[in-house]
Chains A and B, each alone.
Chain A
Amino acid sequence: MTRASFTGAALTVYLKELRDALRDRRTLLVVLFSSVLLGPLVLVAISGFIANLEARAERREVLVIGLEHGPSLRNFLERQTQTVKAAPADYEAQLRASKLQDPVIVIPPGFEDALRNGDAPVVEVVSDSTNRQAESGSHERATLNIVWRGLSTDLLEPLRVEERDLASVQTRSTQITGMLPFFVIVAVLYGALNAGLDTTAGERERGSLEPLLMTPPQRQAIVLGKWGAVASLGMLIALLGCFSFLPAQWLLRSDTLQAMFQYGVREALLFLAVLLPFAAAISAVLMAVAIRCRSFKEAQANTAVVVLAVTMLPIVTLFNQSGESPWQLWVPALAQHTLMTRVLRGEALGPEQVLVPLAVCAAITALGIWFVSRALTRAAIR
């Protein structure tokens, strides 16, 4: 009797698991919608918000209460090509209810006298800090204070321009597009999650693991085939996720954001290069965690730790004020996040940055596959 070769058996298992997973349409659709489409959708939503801010900035309108107390302030604002409008009397209530989108300047009585006497007159800029849209204009308070302490506005203008130019266009855009790597990492995780559990704990729960292990192929061939299928799904999601941002770009409503968000085919390919080893490693980890579990549910509870770690690690970068540290490259998920952020910033990836995460992912993959094979050899039975 002929016997399946090692690669033949692994390929048989791979094709079967892939077919099995691709028939699970409902799960695939959920992953596709929740993970792959979420990133672009959020990006488009943010672009809408920014476009709104830009439009308001272009209108150059200022809402003022007590215009009659400060004709010279009015004159100043109009010289800045701002349109000065009287604010509604119930501006406080309207701000609280978020009906008013811009902060309101309150000019107290006696403003002109104070100005004439050389005292620093107090001008209130009223906004509600829970009203994010009105809050965005509050930096003007500082500007006003400086102006009324007698500094020339001519001095002020170049100061502001200089401050903005400290950062390159791409660096500034990462403040907005910084969540992109996070979305694709989570997408890859969820892409591999279901198949990873189904081929291990699910198989045990169905009672199909024992018959499978009573066939001649080596355990390693079976595990390799299963891992290959899970990793392929994760990689497929990575591919879809990375390239879904390309069409999303065309939908960006904000011109500024569109100019800043430089995500082309080159960036997509670099993202993919970073994510493929991660998909391989996370598949092996999920399978290793799930193989000891007797049921799908138990496996879900156990893999929650992995899911939590992968989603929380990139947040480290938010708190890390010292910037990018070399150790970050040694931590999976965090390393991928760091590298993808670099790609978005337009910085080059050096050999160390590519090789260290690759080696870490390869080691994790090998360890995971070894562990699953060992678990199958030892505890084949329910």
Chain B
Amino acid sequence: MIEIRQLAKTFIAPGTGGPRFTLKRPAPRIVQAVKQVDLVAEDGRVTGLLGPNGAGKTTTLRMLAGLLQPDAGRLHVDGIDVATRPRDALARMGLLSDARGLYPRLTARENIVYYGRLQGMPRDAADARASELARLLDMTPLLDRRTDGFSQGERMKTALARALIHDPPNIVLDEPTNGLDVLATRALRDTLRFLRTAEGGRKCIVFSTHIMQEVERLCDTVVIVAHGRTVASGTVDELLAQTGQRDFEEAFVQLAFAEDLARHETTHEDAA
């Protein structure tokens, strides 16, 4: 189970623009990437983190992975505070970030087993688990090939297997379907559905995306993030009911872009 409460993060980006060839640096820009994100993901459910580009999804997930320190708020993984025990939290999560580089000179199996070893698994156990995951992800023929020259789909499968090597109870995926074709996307969806079931281990799955169909087809709960804030959460049906829409895309636009729409209308009125 993953709980995110009142999360906030501000970046100070080095200043850009202004006259060049001067010694004085332009004033740094302050970017508030995450203002207030709340999310609760239960075991045995797929929770979708839905939001437009730049809404703060990736920043939120990086804070969950302990790569960034939040300015405010709390992150808990199975009751473990990420801020105080990041390594225990990481051991209970399988993370697939948007950077999913592999080592091209190593085989898929070596890539996967390396992460198993880093998670503290004995070599034999990691090796057996890699074969098992390869069956689950339908990538057994790839397993002993070097990853140099893998297709996007093959890379994704390898990276996912690498993230799941230690059989974590929580799985966090950042835009996993990016760059995948229809078949690969469907295969991934089936895998996630299986992992949610009792025989799949009743995993707690958090899945960030900006694609509506993904959410409608897969997610049990949806958390909509816009401008660094959680603006709505619930099942797809609940969100439809909340907005009075029949189409989920309309509901999403209404929820995520309410501020922008309002501003847009005011400017129009001013112009008129």
A-side residues, CB < 8 A to B, are: 1-5, 8-9, 12-13, 16, 19-20, 23-24, 203, 206-218, 380-382
Contact = CB atoms under 8 A, between A and B. Distances in A.
A206 B104 CA distance: 9
Given A20-B106, A381-B62, A211 B97 contact: yes
A207 B117 contact: no
Contacts of B66: 214
Nearest to B90: A216
Looking at chain B's contact residues, is the secondary structure mostly helix, strand, loop, or mixed?
A: loop
Contacts of A3: 87, 91, 119-120
A31 B105 CA distance: 18
7 nearest A-B residue pairs (beta carbon): A207-B101, A208-B101, A207-B99, A206-B101, A4-B120, A210-B99, A23-B105
Contact of B105 (A20, A212, A214): A20
Contacts of A1: 91-92, 119-120, 166
Interface in B77-118: 87-88, 90-92, 95-97, 99-106, 110, 114-115, 117-118
A105 to B, nearest CB: 65
Contacts, number: 90
Contacts of A16: 103, 106, 110, 114
A30 to B, nearest CB: 16
B67 A214 contact: yes
B43 to A, nearest CB: 16
A211 B101 contact: yes
Interface of B: 62, 65-68, 87-88, 90-92, 95-97, 99-106, 110, 114-115, 117-121, 159, 162-163, 166
Best-surrounded residue of A1, A8, A13 (most CB of chain B within 10 A):
A1
18 contacts: A1-B91, A8-B117, A9-B118, A9-B120, A13-B118, A16-B103, A206-B102, A207-B101, A208-B101, A209-B99, A211-B99, A214-B67, A214-B90, A215-B119, A216-B91, A217-B118, A380-B67, A382-B99
Contacts of A5: 120
Best-surrounded residue of A8, A207, A218 (most CB of chain B within 10 A):
A207
Contacts of A216: 87-88, 90-91, 118-120
B96 to A, nearest CB: 8
Given A1-B120, A214-B65, A208 B102 contact: yes
A215 B68 contact: no
Contacts of B119: 1, 3-4, 215-216
A1 B159 CA distance: 21
Contacts of B118: 4, 9, 12-13, 212, 215-217
B105 A211 contact: no
A207 B114 contact: no
B105 A24 contact: yes
Nearest to B62: A381
Looking at chain A's contact residues, is the secondary structure mostly helix, strand, loop, or mixed?
A: loop
Contacts of A4: 117-120
B132 to A, nearest CB: 17
Contact of B103 (A20, A214, A217, A381): A20
Nearest to A206: B101
Given A16-B103, A216-B120, 14 more contacts: A1-B91, A2-B121, A3-B120, A4-B117, A8-B120, A9-B118, A12-B114, A20-B103, A209-B99, A210-B99, A213-B67, A214-B67, A380-B67, A381-B68
A380 B95 CA distance: 15
Nearest to B168: A1
A173 B133 CA distance: 64
Contacts of B104: 206
Contacts of B159: 211
Contacts of A212: 118
A216 B115 CA distance: 10
Best-surrounded residue of A4, A215, A218, A381 (most CB of chain B within 10 A):
A215
A381 B59 CA distance: 10
Given A1-B120, A4-B117, A12-B117, A214 B106 contact: no
Nearest to A25: B105
B120 A211 contact: no
B93 to A, nearest CB: 8
Contacts of B91: 1, 3, 216
B150 to A, nearest CB: 13
Nearest to B96: A211
Nearest to B117: A12
Contacts of B95: 211, 214
Nearest to A11: B117
Nearest to B146: A23
Contacts of A218: 87
A5 B163 CA distance: 20
B46 to A, nearest CB: 20
Contacts of B163: 211
Contact of B90 (A207, A215, A380): A215
A205 to B, nearest CB: 8
Contacts of B97: 210-211, 214
B115 A215 contact: yes
A214 B67 CA distance: 7
Best-surrounded residue of B96, B114, B120, B159 (most CB of chain A within 10 A):
B120
B208 to A, nearest CB: 15
B143 to A, nearest CB: 17
Best-surrounded residue of B100, B102, B117 (most CB of chain A within 10 A):
B117
Contacts of B100: 207, 211
A1 B78 CA distance: 14
A381 B67 contact: yes
A195 to B, nearest CB: 12
Nearest to A22: B105
Contacts of B117: 4, 8, 12
A312 to B, nearest CB: 29
Contacts of B68: 381
B102 A210 contact: no
Contacts of B120: 1-5, 8-9, 216
